[in-house]
Structures are given as structure tokens and as C-alpha cells.
Chains A and B, each alone.
Chain A
Amino acid sequence: YGDSAPLNEAMAVLQHHDAVSGTSRQHVANDYASQLAAGWGPCEVLLSNALAKLSGSKESFSICRDLNISFCPVSQTSAHFQVIVYNPLGRKVDQMVRLPVSEGLFLVKDPRDKTVPSKVVELPNTGNTELLFPALVPALGFSIYSVTQVSIRRPRAHLRQPRPQKSR
């Protein structure tokens, strides 16, 4: 069962300025983080249930908590996966989706089963690669894109070598 109440409550606690501005003691900051994490768990289930109902299929949805550091086991290990993009705005938006992938070439199809342009970009210095494709999402709705790995050869984005700078 999904439940958004624990996250609601955690967010209410985090209205306090200590949680926003860094004026809490470290153990209190740790507790804020703990409350948020505990609240997010059942909310993920709620979101997955809603998506399953709306899309008419029961899927094992995966919501990445580490997107800020570009790490995602599903996109980095799966040969096939779906990307559901939900738009909370009351107007349609276009968004460039960026997902960490391991290597290779990918075929991305839009909700009408048409291939959309995509590119695997190798990030300088890190050795990480990311898949990019443009997504169009309707107002207060979602679009599902399917991604299939079609080759495992390493991608080659146009990457220039570091530019030496004049010393000062």
C-alpha cells in the first residue's frame, strides 16, 4: 500500500528554518534526512500504483534517489527499459531527458512508437556516459518512452581534448 501522509508530515517538519538554512546541529540535520527518507518510501509505492493504474500495466517501477550524482542501476544495466516522464505543469513541456547508461547505442521510441533522436554522450574526465533524448509531455500528464540497447560498442561523442591555458 502506498501512502503520502508520512512524506507530508516530514515536509511539514522541514518547514522549520533549521532544515532549510543549515542552522541545525548535525544530529538534527541527520534526523531531518532520516524523516524525509522514511516518508519517501511509501510515497514511491503510491506513485508506482498510480502509474500502473494509469498505464494499464503492472510494472516494476524504479525511482532513482541518486539522480543528482548520475547513477541509476536500471538505465545502466538494462537492455530494455521504459522512461515515464510526468509533467506536473498545466501546459505541455519539452524536456531533454538525461540518463546514465553503461555503453553502446540506444534506440528510443516515443509514445506513438516513432523513433526519436537520441545521443550517447561521453562525459569528460569521468568516463561516464549519458543517454540524451528530447521528450514531449502533455499538460498534467505523462509520456512513456521505450529505450532499447541496440549495440554495445562504445559511443564516440565529439569531444575535444583539454585546452591548455596560458599561465598567469
Chain B
Amino acid sequence: SPILSIKNEYLQATFHPDTGFLRTIEVLDRKLTLAVSQAFFWYNASTGDKQSDQASGAYIFRPSQAKPIPVSHWAQTQLVKTALVQEVHQNFSAWCSQVVRLYPGQRHLELEWTVGPIPVGDKWGKEVISRFDTPLKTLGVFYTDSNGREILERRRDYRPSWDLNQTEPVAGNYYPVNSRIYITDGKMQLTVLTDRSQGGSSLRDGSLELMVHRRLLKDDGRGVGEALLESGSGVWVRGRHLVLLDTAHEAAVGHRLLAEKELLAPQVVLAPGRGSSYHHK
């Protein structure tokens, strides 16, 4: 089948014809192309094991295995193309979908994900992530803006101030992401801006992941005394990831200005009736 793509004057995103997943991002005016595969996965929450009886819970993230399970191996896609917006709607499963969106004049790709209610009928707690896989040689390093203060370098299985004995290969490499996470090979940089605080990591070179939703069946024994389990059928969450691809040299300008616009976004108020037009002066 023909390759699905969306494009404006700055960006082109193409999707894999077999899987429907995002395949490449191309920055046209900077002549940058990066193979980016993005999909949703879930970690099976630990309920305790031989090493430790620690369960995953409200305070603790502890998956039972390091490899996450794909929500789906392919997504059903639909394309909406108009002069004002181009969108690829991806349906991964009954509880996971996404819209990949490009507006004219926009230098970033907008991924609006909808996840939930997470099914737990199989008695497995699930911690759902959105993962971006690229061929970037990142040498175990990624960056997050933890605590909203400054971008900090994070190195896999490493702490700058002590010799780390890594006992949790996934959770031990997760860091808070307040507004952005990025990976770079020194030439190209892939940045993802979040619309809320999330956990994030880069567990393999060229890979970047953000946790978008979780639903657990066991209390972690850290004081809350309740499993992180919504009553009834559970809740769904909708959020946005803004994806920027740029040269490592130019990237900071782009993600800083976009983050300002995202975190202090224009507010919309409506008034019924015709009213009179307002002139700035």
C-alpha cells in the first residue's frame, strides 16, 4: 500500500505501511531525516519476586521484567488531510489510540494519545509507556528537565556521586520529566515535550520512553495503603507529546520557545451572540 505521510513546509512524517506506526521524521529545510518508530508498550507490574517482595504501587515503579509488552503490533490508521491540519489517527487497541498531527507552519509533530481504561481482567497490573526508537548513537546518555529547574544529563546505570549497584534495570533508570526529555548523538537531537509531569528514560541507545498511564492491583506498602486502582472500569487519560527534531546546535532554541508556548498556552473563552469585534488599540 502507498506510504502514508503528513507534510507541511518544514516537516514530513511517514508511517510504516504494514504496521501503521510512525516511521520517519524529516526536517525539510535543515535536510535532516531520522528513522523514528513510535508505539505503545506496557510493563507488567511486579507483585514481588525472589529478590524482593516489593510490589509496584503508587510510590514505587517496579516492573516484573525489563522488556515491555507491545500494546499492539500494528495500528489501524485513518488519514485526515485539510488545508489547516493533517492528522493520522492510529488505533492500537480498544484502550489505546493516538492522533499524529501537523499544522501549517509548525516545526513540531504533535502526538495526542488517549490511553485507558487499562484492562486488568488478567490480574496483571500495567504501566503503559510511549516509546520512540531511533538509530541515534546516544552512548547511554539522555537528558531530562527534572524539578523544572534545568536540563540534567542522565546516564544509564550511573550516578554522578556514588558507585551505583544497579538492581532495577528499568525503574533504576527512570527519572522525572517535568516538561521535556531528549536524546542526541551530537549532530541530531530528538526532543519530546510533555504537557504534564511524567516518568521517562532511555533504556537503550537511541530509545526514549515516557510513562503515560498505570493501573495496579497491589499496594506497594509505602504508606498509602491502597493499590493504584481506579474504581469501576477505570479512567482514561488524554495528553500530548510534542516531538521536535533538529540539529543539536539549534535544538535548544526550538524546544525552549515551544515549551513556553505549551506551558503558558493561550486560553480560550467563548461568548454567545454576535458581539462587536475587538481592536487591539
Contacts and interface: CB of A to CB of B under 8 A. Distances in A.
Interface in B223-246: 223-226, 228, 230-231, 238
Contact of B268 (A78, A85, A165): A85
A62 B270 contact: yes
Contacts of A8: none
Contacts of B59: 23
Interface stretch (B33-41, B81-89, B183-191, B200-208): B81-89
Contacts, number: 178
Contact of A158 (B18, B80, B238, B278): B80
Interface in B145-170: none
Contacts of B105: 94
A112 B272 contact: no
A82 B272 CA distance: 6
Nearest to A64: B270
Interface residues of A, number: 76
A74 B268 CA distance: 12
Given A20-B197, A134-B84, A135-B266, A62 B78 contact: no
A26 B230 CA distance: 8
Interface string A106-149: 00011111000111011111000000111101100111101010
Contact of A165 (B18, B82, B272): B18
A59 B83 contact: no
B7 to A, nearest CB: 14
B104 to A, nearest CB: 8
B228 A22 contact: yes
Interface of A: 20-26, 47-48, 51, 55, 57, 59-64, 67-69, 72, 74-75, 78, 80-89, 93-97, 99, 109-113, 117-119, 121-125, 132-135, 137-138, 141-144, 146, 148, 157-163, 165-166, 168
Given A21-B197, A158-B82, A162-B78, 20 more contacts: A23-B59, A26-B231, A61-B269, A63-B269, A67-B268, A68-B238, A74-B270, A74-B271, A81-B273, A83-B268, A85-B266, A89-B260, A112-B277, A119-B84, A121-B85, A132-B85, A158-B80, A159-B79, A166-B18, A166-B74
12 contacts: A26-B230, A78-B273, A81-B272, A96-B85, A96-B103, A97-B268, A119-B84, A122-B80, A123-B89, A143-B278, A143-B280, A158-B82
Interface of B: 1, 4, 18-20, 58-59, 73-85, 87, 89, 91, 103-105, 197, 222-226, 228, 230-231, 238, 260-261, 264-280
